[in-house]
Amino acid sequence: MIRILAFLAIIALAAFGVGWLIDRPGSLVLVWQGWQIETSVPVALLGVVVLTTLVVLFWSLVRFIFNSPDAVSDFLRGRRRKRGLNAVAHGLMAIGIGDGKSARRSAGEARRLIGDEPLTLLLRAQAAQLNGDRPEAEAAFKAMLEQPETRPLGYRGLFVEAKRRGDDREALKLADRALEANPDVPWAGPALLDLQSRTGDWDGALKTVQRNVSNHVTTRAHAKRERAVLLTAKALALAEDKPQDARAVAVEAANLAPSLVPAVALAGRLLAEQGDLTKAKKLLEKGWKAQPHPNIAEVYLYLRSGDAAADRLKRGRILAEKAGRDPEGALALARAALDAREFTVARKALAPLVERGPTRRTCLLMAEIENAEFGDRGRARAWLARAVAAKRDPAWVADGIISDSWQPFSPATGRLDAFEWTVPVESLAAPDSALIDAEVVASEAPIVEHEPVVTPVVQPEPVAQPVVVDAVLEPEPVEPKPAAPEPKPAPRPGLARERKRPVDVVLPPIPSPDDPGPDDQDEVTIRAAGRNVSA
């Protein structure tokens, strides 16, 4: 509306000016080179306007004639660029649907039409990667390094290619150069940190963590955790040769992350070995409160060398009280009570875990208790057989890999702080319950040292009398006939499928009241199995 009013105002002023000139015509006389021109002022002004218009048109025509070659060249260049951009668009769509052949053809056409522009180089590199042409992809990424706008992408592409061929040294150099060229790129800092961790450059990794915080690539809280993990790894590397330096580094790591179990356990052990028991106890209790763990429990129970089993039992009670409902408290107390020969306390500590469904460590501890208290090999073996089908205990897991001990990075991907204390994923196929029941029945039977005994085969379904098994396996008595051989029994499917011939089955004898119990070798075997699982 305002523009319309302004346009009408301008027209009104122009009309007013023309009318004003017509009302006041005046006269204009021009004398030049013997010529005298006399006219009115409005006509003179009209002549000036017409002359100016003619001059402008003439000058435009001259410019058009002189600039026509450039105009034709620009037109052709624009058409080529348009065709090149269309080829880039078709190539990117081909990459999106996985058509490597079309992507490579479009990349070649785009490069022919518009040269090595950023989009052309990107299409060329991605088409080469899609077709598995690694040298061509690296050549495209190296060409990107020559242009400032594509240099970050070039470093990233070369880094990925170096990782794919397993060249960690080259990948480390590329990540460092990319970080120096552009500190704001989000991938270079974490990638450099992971590579330095995999190569054991803990000091360099610590500097990278600080640089990532300064560049706002990571948060301070996350950097604090990463620093604690790196300090723990450095302390583990120094523990054997330089225990004093390792102690200071481990204590710093434990203070940064009290829930980092390896740092707390290592710091507590080094402090205890060097005589600072009070500080070690406080640090271990703080770490136990943040994350109850068997490694912390082991260091805490054996905090002072030479202590009696009763002293370790007292510390076990402290751990159980501080753990609350966490199973690790009950397991630590049961282990200490078993070492102190307080079997009632150990059974009472494990009772809630057995009621909720025992794990493998619980079953193995119960086997040790049965063997140590009563010397009952049958019950001990029943608990060992039960451990086969029991739930798994937590373990150190990273990217699907289960490790017996903590590591600072994932062995699969190299990711820092990848290991978590969690229950591994169970297998999809459940164990055969009939087979487990058979193992439990067989394990509860006492073993007598005499002639070789063949354990009876148990059917998948429960049977009332063990003699039925013998009847199934043995053929019915047939009187011998001199003319025909004795017929062979037909094996029942699922029971004696693997037997070539009938086997005499001897049922185990009834155990005598004065069974001498397990020998020393069985007790050592059960205890070693329990400690392997707890570790």
pLDDT in tens, 78-102: 888 899 899 999 999 999 999 999 9
Q: Three-class SS string for 105-156?
A: HHHHHHHHHHCCCHHHHHHHHHHHHHCCCHHHHHHHHHHHCCCCCCHHHHHH
Q: Of 40-44, 49-53, 262-266, give the lowest mean pLDDT range.
A: 40-44
Tell me the pLDDT tens digit for each residue of 471-494.
Answer: 333 334 444 444 444 444 444 333
Give the whole-angstrom CA distance, residue 286 versus residue 278: 12
Work out the average pLDDT over 378-407.
Answer: 92
Residues 119 and 151 in one domain: yes
Q: What is the mean pLDDT of the chain?
A: 80
The CATH number for 116's domain is: 1.25.40
What amino acid occupies position 473? L
Tally of domains in the chain: 2
Does residue 519 belong to any structural domain of this protein? Answer: no
Tell me the pLDDT tens digit for each residue of 158-179.
Answer: 999 999 988 989 999 999 999 9
Which of 166, 194, 215 lies at the terminal end of a domain, its last residue?
A: 166
* Residue range of the domain that includes 20: 16-54
Does residue 21 belong to any structural domain of this protein? Answer: yes
Give the whole-angstrom CA distance, residue 382 versus residue 367: 8
Question: Alpha helix (H) ranges present in 145-219?
Answer: 151-164, 168-181, 188-198, 202-214
Residues 82 and 114 in one domain: yes
Residues 101 and 148 in one domain: yes
Work out the average pLDDT over 499-518.
Answer: 39
Does 531 have pLDDT greater than 60?
no
Residues 50 and 86 in one domain: no
Does residue 381 belong to any structural domain of this protein? Answer: no
Question: Structure pTM?
Answer: 0.66
Cβ atoms 406, 422 nearer than 8 A:
no
Cβ atoms 301, 315 nearer than 8 A:
yes
What amino acid occupies position 265? A
